[in-house]
Amino acid sequence: MTKALVYARVSTDKQADNTSISKQVESAQEYCKANDIKTVSIYKEEASAKNIEGREQFKKMYKHLMEDEEIKFIIAYKLDRLFRNFSDAIFFLERVKEAKKVIICITDNINTKDPNAKMLYLLNALQAEKERENISTNTVSGMVKKATAGYFQGGIVFGYESVSKRLRIIPEEAAVIQYIYNKYVYNQWGYKKIANNLNLQGFKTKKNNDWTINAVKTILENKIYIGFTKWKGEYTKGQHEPIISEDLWNKAQNLKAKKSYTPTKIHPGTFPLSGLLKCPQCGSPMVQGNSSEKYKYYQCNKNKSSGSKACSSNLIIKEYAEEAVLDILIPHLNKLNVSAILSTIINSNLGNNLKSLNDEVNSLNNSLKSIQKKIKKIAYLYLEEAEDSKQIKDKTFSYLIGELEDEEEETLTKLDRLNKQINLQNNFNVKSNVEYVTNHLKDFINIISDEEKKFLFHFIIKEVHVSQGARPKEREIKDVIYLFDYEDISHSA
Annotated catalytic residues are 11
Strand 461-466 to strand 316-317: parallel, antiparallel, or no bridges (unpaired)?
A: unpaired
CA distance 399 to 408: 14
For the chain, what's the residue count? Answer: 493
Q: How many helices and strands, by DSSP H and E, does the chain display? A: 19, 15
- CA pair distance 411, 407, nearest whole angstrom: 6
For residue 260, which amino acid is it?
S
CB contact at 8 A, 235 and 229: yes
Round to whole Å and give the CA distance between 455 and 444: 14
Do residues 4 and 74 lie in contact, with contact meaning Cβ atoms separated by under 8 Å? yes
Strand partners, 7: 43, 76
Residue 290 has a CB neighbour count (10 Å cut-off) of: 9
Pairing of strands 277-278, 461-466: parallel
Q: Residue 271: how many CA atoms within 13 Å on its side-chain side?
A: 25
Q: What is the DSSP letter of 387?
A: G
Instruction: Tell me the H-state helices in 385-492.
Output: 394-426, 430-439, 441-447, 450-460, 486-492
Q: How far apart are CA 416 and CA 451, in angstroms?
A: 19
Residue 145 host element (H or E) = helix 139-148
Q: What is the distance between the alpha carbons of residues 125 and 82, in angstroms, rounded to a whole number?
A: 10
Q: How far apart are CA 131 and CA 140, in angstroms?
A: 19
For residue 177, give the 3-state DSSP assignment. helix
User: Collapsing DSSP states into helix, strand and coil, what is residue 224?
Assistant: helix
Residue 118: how many other CB atoms lie within 10 Å: 13
| Cβ pair 128, 80 in contact under 8 A | yes
